[in-house]
């Protein structure tokens, strides 16, 4: 073998190895880079470096706008526009496979240029120093172009280099195509999220309207269900529940008295303490509420149970089943306290609302009996945060009304009760 032949062979081998190395780098960039713009810029640098080209760009085809959007460019300076017009005819020719491989941009060098680019775009690209274009086609879809200037050596592209460009174009095309799929998935996900949020809003509004309808039957307690929903939500947040569970217990609070729809209106609106027979009738409402809510496909499974068990007590003296302690769902224990708190802090036909100090004392006396101590402690902590100005807005104070709570006297009382409840809880845990 002559020296010149050996040198040529070695040069071709070096170019082939360099091309393989560039392709490996290209694949790694496309696979590893999550940022789309960074991925395209990096892959463009790999292509230009592998071929020794002075300038180049990657443009993504946007069918709706009938244009090529410049995603990455190198060596053009500010002359490269962000967008270039590109008609459907050229896109269809590339997508159909009737025009493959590198295409000369200058009409003088390629008769097909006029059909692909149009005279105006071809002239603009030539003026920018673009000599060749490689189509990016994936699954018979045209996704864009690689635009290349001349080589730094001013040598023409060899057949091997043209094939390297075509191979790289397939890699880059797949990268852009996958990004398009991701963008579409994200767009659909955003649409679905908006739809879900709208449906949640409709659901919440429906629940609140239903709660208002429940309270409308009782002229003395209008607004009760909504207040119980708010108090339940506040307690759940203080207990550290996630947003889904917080929303569920709020809905449980709104709907806890739905069973009263089957109770005689005269019993509900009696302006006196009802007798045993009437009380028995009224006590049907938790079980009735459960039966009303159970067939409905709620977003939250525990809502019917909150209606059924919100009159159960940790000491087992509640109804309808006499459950004890942790056998009562925690959501129902939250709603129970919120329900009782609103009953104690609002006027009823047969009594005025109790002083706040009496309510705190009731919490102390009935923690562990009527109320779950952990729930009482959480509600008292929430009250303290509002009284100390640590929480805005002060929703509990707003619901209770102006001047109901003597802040200077209530803070020490609540602090003492929380300390008692938490020390008892720690002792029990130990």
CATH number of the domain where residue 69 is located: 3.30.450.40
Report yes or no on 209 lying in a domain. no
More confident residue, 109 or 214: 214
Instruction: For 350-388, write each residue's pLDDT tens digit.
Output: 778 999 999 999 999 999 999 999 999 999 999 999 999
Report yes or no on 193 lying in a domain. no
The answer to whether residues 342 and 398 belong to one domain is yes
The answer to whether residues 173 and 264 belong to one domain is no
Cβ atoms 253, 235 nearer than 8 A? no
The answer to whether residues 163 and 116 belong to one domain is yes
pTM attached to this predicted model: 0.61
The answer to whether residues 180 and 303 belong to one domain is no
More confident residue, 55 or 297: 55
* CATH number of the CATH domain containing 413: 1.10.3210.10
- Bridge partner residues of 147 (DSSP): 57, 133
Report yes or no on 202 lying in a domain. no
Report yes or no on 204 lying in a domain. no
Alpha helix (H) ranges present in 285-329?
A: 285-293, 303-309
Instruction: State how many domains the chain has.
Output: 2
The answer to whether residues 100 and 18 belong to one domain is yes
The answer to whether residues 223 and 170 belong to one domain is no
Report yes or no on 382 lying in a domain. yes
pLDDT at 337: 98
pLDDT at 207: 83
Report yes or no on 250 lying in a domain. yes
The answer to whether residues 168 and 228 belong to one domain is no
Domain holding 27, by residue range, is 3-186
Residue 167 pLDDT level (bands cut at 50, 70, 90) = confident
**Domain-ending residue, one of 168, 186, 204:** 186
Cβ atoms 22, 50 nearer than 8 A? yes
The answer to whether residues 361 and 248 belong to one domain is yes
Alpha helix (H) ranges present in 217-284?
A: 224-238, 243-255, 265-268, 276-282
Instruction: For 66-113, write each residue's pLDDT tens digit.
Output: 889 998 888 888 888 888 888 888 888 888 877 777 888 876 555 556
More confident residue, 234 or 132: 234
**Domain-ending residue, one of 141, 170, 186:** 186
User: Best-predicted range by mean pLDDT among 214-223, 392-401, 417-426?
Assistant: 392-401
Q: What is the 3-state secondary structure (H, E, C) of the chain?
A: CCHHHHHHHHHHHHHHHHHHHHHHHHHHHHHHCCCHHHHHHHHHHHHHHHHCECCEEEEEEECCCCEEEEEEEECCHHHCCCEEECCHHHHHHHHHCCCCCCEECCCCCCCCHHHHHHHHHHHHHHHCCCCEEEEEEECCEEEEEEEECCECCCCCCCHHHHHHHHHHHHHHHHHHHHHHHHHHHHHHHHHHHHHHHHHHHHHHHHHHHHHHHHHHCCCCCCCHHHHHHHHHHHHHHHCCCCHHHHHHHHHHHHHCCHHHHHCCHHHHCCCCCCCHHHHHHHCCHHHHHHHHHCCCCCCCCCHHHHHHHCCCCCECCCCCCCCEHHHCCHHHHHHHHHHHHHHHCCCECCECCCCHHHHHHHHHHHECCCECHHHHHHHHHHHHHHHCCCCCCCHHHHHHCCCCCCHHHHHHHHHHHHHHHHHHHHHHHC
Tokens, residue 385 = 């945060």
């Amino acid at each position: 073998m002559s020296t010149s032949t050996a040198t040529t062979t070695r040069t071709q081998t070096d170019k082939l190895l360099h091309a393989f190395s560039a392709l490996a780098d290209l694949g790694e960039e496309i696979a590893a880079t999550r940022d789309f713009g960074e991925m395209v810029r990096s892959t463009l640098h790999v292509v230009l470096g592998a071929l020794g080209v002075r300038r180049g760009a990657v443009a993504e085809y946007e069918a709706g706008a009938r244009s090529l959007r410049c995603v990455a460019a190198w060596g053009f300076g500010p002359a490269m526009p962000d967008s270039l017009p590109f008609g459907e005819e050229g896109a269809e020719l590339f997508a159909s496979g009737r025009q493959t491989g590198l295409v000369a941009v200058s009409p003088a060098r390629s008769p097909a240029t006029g059909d692909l680019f149009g005279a105006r775009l071809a002239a603009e690209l030539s003026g920018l120093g673009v000599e060749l274009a490689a189509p990016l086609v994936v699954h018979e879809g045209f996704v864009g172009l690689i635009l290349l200037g001349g080589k730094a050596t001013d040598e023409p592209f060899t057949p091997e280099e043209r094939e390297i460009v075509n191979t790289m174009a397939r890699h880059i095309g797949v990268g852009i195509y996958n990004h398009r799929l991701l963008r579409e998935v994200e767009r659909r996900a955003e649409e679905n999220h908006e739809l879900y949020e709208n449906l949640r809003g409709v659901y919440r509004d429906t629940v609140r309207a239903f709660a208002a309808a429940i309270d409308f039957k009782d002229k003395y307690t209008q607004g009760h269900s909504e207040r119980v929903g708010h108090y339940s939500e506040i307690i759940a947040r203080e207990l550290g529940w996630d947003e889904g569970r917080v929303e569920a217990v709020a809905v449980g609070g709104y709907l806890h008295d739905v069973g009263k729809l089957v109770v005689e209106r005269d019993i509900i609106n009696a302006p006196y303490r009802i007798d045993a027979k009437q009380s028995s009738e009224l006590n049907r409402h938790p079980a009735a509420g459960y039966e009303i809510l159970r067939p409905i496909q709620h977003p939250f499974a525990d809502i019917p149970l909150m209606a059924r068990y919100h009159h159960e007590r940790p000491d087992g003296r509640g109804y309808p089943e006499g459950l004890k302690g942790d056998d009562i769902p925690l959501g129902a224990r939250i709603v129970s306290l919120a329900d009782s708190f609103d009953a104690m802090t609002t006027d009823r036909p047969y009594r005025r609302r109790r002083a706040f100090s009496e309510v705190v004392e009731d919490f102390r006396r009935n923690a562990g009996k009527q109320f779950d101590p952990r729930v009482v402690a959480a509600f008292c902590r929430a009250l303290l945060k509002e009284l100390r100005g640590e929480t805005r807005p002060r929703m509990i104070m707003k619901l209770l009304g102006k001047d109901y709570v003597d802040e200077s006297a209530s803070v020490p009382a609540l602090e003492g009760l929380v300390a008692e409840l938490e020390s008892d809880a720690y002792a029990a845990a130990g």
